[in-house]
Amino acid sequence: MMQEEIKCDSCGLPLDKDNRARKNNTKWNLCLYCVCDETGELWPKEDIISGSRDFYFVGELGLSEEEAQIAAENYIKKMPAWLE
């Protein structure tokens, strides 16, 4: 039986022992990029969107910044930590 991959509830990054948040004061599974090291709290949504835009949608997928901004906003708003 395949084990279900656990992903960050904020940005969707597949989680492993190396990229899990060290301190997490939320109810979600979070990566170290989405959490403030000092407080264990989630970074603001705008920061998560810009990080996803720059590192994933532009850096990995090669989208233009404008396309990447729209893609990041649409993706992040569907993540469990950001459902409104």
pLDDT at position 2 = 59
At residue 50, the pLDDT reads 97
* Structure token digits, residue 20: 């899990």
Q: How many CB atoms lie within 10 A of CB 78?
A: 9
pLDDT for 20-72, tens place per residue?
999 999 999 999 999 999 999 999 999 999 999 999 999 999 999 999 999 99
Q: Where are the domains of the chain?
A: 45-82
| pLDDT, position 4 | 80
Say whether pTM exceeds 0.85. yes
For the stretch 8-22, pLDDT in tens is 999 999 999 999 999
Instruction: Measure CA 78 to chain center.
Output: 11
Does residue 14 sit in helix, strand or coil?
Answer: strand
Handedness of CA 32, 43, 68, 81 (dihedral sign): positive
Say what the pLDDT of residue 1 is: 56
